[in-house]
Amino acid sequence: MDVTYAPIGVVRSPYGSPDDVPTPRDADVASRVELDEAYADGLDGLDEFSHVVVLAHLDGIEDSHLRARPPHADGVEVGVFASRSPHRPNPIAQSVVRLDDVDGTTLHVNGLDLVDGTPVLDVKPYVGGVDEADLTRGWLEDLEG
């Protein structure tokens, strides 16, 4: 049974194509998440959070692969679900970004790694993560030595 969503807005970023998005992402690059004006009431209180989770549809991705070779990873090949590759069965991007300002239905954010024009599916407050002491990060740790 398929699932259908209607985008709630769009990304405005300096990145014109996937090749323009740096890896790792640049936390100081400003982008905007422009939501439809109908959602204005839904943003009340979001400006008091320092970070938000943006879920977006990677509409430029036309193929998916079960294996991925992450960039700058010395030829490491892993399963797509052990990577953040956009070439996944359902190309949903999940980015945690710093929120600088909410102006009407426009979110001013930093560090978003999405191409200009990417449809946005959801925005959530970021409420915390996993303690570093409890974290193991597979092939990424091998790379970092």
Q: Is 61 exposed, middle or buried (0-12, 13-18, 19+ CB in 10 A)?
A: middle
The torsion defined by the Cα of 6, 10, 11 and 17, in degrees rounded to 10, comes to 80
Binding mask 70-109 for its own copies (x = CB under 8 A): --------xxxxxxx---xxx-x-x-x-x-----------
Token pair for 142: 């091998």
Q: Which one among 69, 104, 124, 143 touches its own copies, defined by CB under 8 A?
A: 124
Is residue 86 reached through a cis peptide bond, with omega within 30 degrees of 0 on the bond before it? Answer: no
121 binds its own copies (CB under 8 A): yes
d(CA 130, CA 145): 21
Q: Which one among 4, 62, 63, 72 touches its own copies, defined by CB under 8 A?
A: 4
49 binds its own copies (CB under 8 A): yes
144 binds its own copies (CB under 8 A): no
Q: Is 104 left (phi over 0), alpha (psi -120 to 50) or beta?
A: left
Closest separation between CB of residue 56 and its own copies, Å?
10
Binding site for its own copies (CB under 8 A): 1-8, 35, 39, 41-51, 53, 55, 57, 59, 66-67, 78-84, 88-90, 92, 94, 96, 98, 119, 121-130, 132, 134-140
